Amino acid sequence: MKILIILFLFTPTCWADTTLDSDVWILGNAGVETTSPDGQLEVQADSTHPTVFRVSGVDETPFLIVGQDGKVGISTNPTAQLDVMGVADVSDIAIQLDAGDLDPNTSTYQMTLGYAGNESYRHAIRSRHKDSVAGNAVEFYLWNPGTGGATAIGDQKVLSLITTSTNASVHIMPVGTPEYELVVSNGDTTGGGTVSAASIVEPSSRRLKEGIRSLGKRERDQAFREVAGLKHKTYRYKKGSQRIRGLIFEESPPSIQAKGSSLSMNERIVNAELAMQALIERLEALGADHD
């Protein structure tokens, strides 16, 4: 039977439908809707068939579809160049990429994004993986004209979603190890970036806090001494051009110091408020002495 099928395949073209119910060997290229296939199997689209290639399940559910417009659908009729259907709310996985690096390696890309149908100006996404809490990350890179030609893959890391030993962090223009949930760096100094915002709010409801204790005269006097002893400087951050005024971590009182050699703006404001209250008390006492 198999020999007869092979002989049949090499007979002149048959234009009627043909059904085969046994094994088939094709010793050469095979073409559908073409008499001169350029590959071992070529299916050529035509205007009368919207689907060029289809693989279905036993209930005719589509597994893979290639449309006449070149769009590819996985488990769905495609409406995009690649259309992948997942099922919501059932822990389904639509696409799984398995090209991540083992931390601290960064040699593999999970995905690159090129321009206008070619490999120019490619941005990239990398992932790093580790069997511990710290070191798991998804990192985003933009194409950088200063470090490669048009076909180079982007190497300017602009965003990192990363876990550390104590938390998870969103790190913009990352450099160093972030110590807070959101860190804005400038590519050279950890936390040396700039944030622009119309307002910044602090959750302050009593229901969010515990161990509440009132501060008294001792804390007000201590804050007064600390504010009076502040040593303000002018400086620039590394890789920055704007000269600013502020404090140096190593010269600041412990009450306003925070992780990562940073200063707590909240503690600085509280210190200033306590110092102002202490000053008011002293002025009131001075006025009472002159009455």
Average pLDDT over residues 11-21: 64
> Would residue 190 count as lying in a domain?
no
HSE-up (13 A, CA, CB side) for residue 250: 0
215 with 277, same domain: the answer is yes
218 with 255, same domain: the answer is yes
Q: Domain total for the chain? A: 3
- What is the spatial distance between Cα 66 and Cα 51, in angstroms, rounded to a whole number? 6
- What is the spatial distance between Cα 76 and Cα 190, in angstroms, rounded to a whole number? 46
Does 8 score more than 50 pLDDT? no
Residues in the chain: 291
54 with 113, same domain: the answer is no
Q: What's the N-to-C CA distance of the chain in angstroms? A: 123
Tell me the residue range of the domain where 229 lies. 211-289
105 with 171, same domain: the answer is yes
- What is the spatial distance between Cα 220 and Cα 287, in angstroms, rounded to a whole number? 19
Could you read off the pLDDT of 238-265 as tens digits, one per residue? Answer: 877 789 999 999 999 999 999 989 999 9
53 with 110, same domain: the answer is no
> Would residue 235 count as lying in a domain?
yes
107 with 79, same domain: the answer is no
Could you read off the pLDDT of 187-208 as tens digits, one per residue? Answer: 998 998 999 999 999 899 999 9
270 with 245, same domain: the answer is yes
At residue 281, the pLDDT reads: 95
At residue 20, the pLDDT reads: 77
Q: Across all residues in the chain, what is the average pLDDT?
A: 90
Query: ω before 104 within 30° of 0 (cis)?
Result: yes
Q: Which residues pair with 125 in a beta bridge?
A: 111, 140
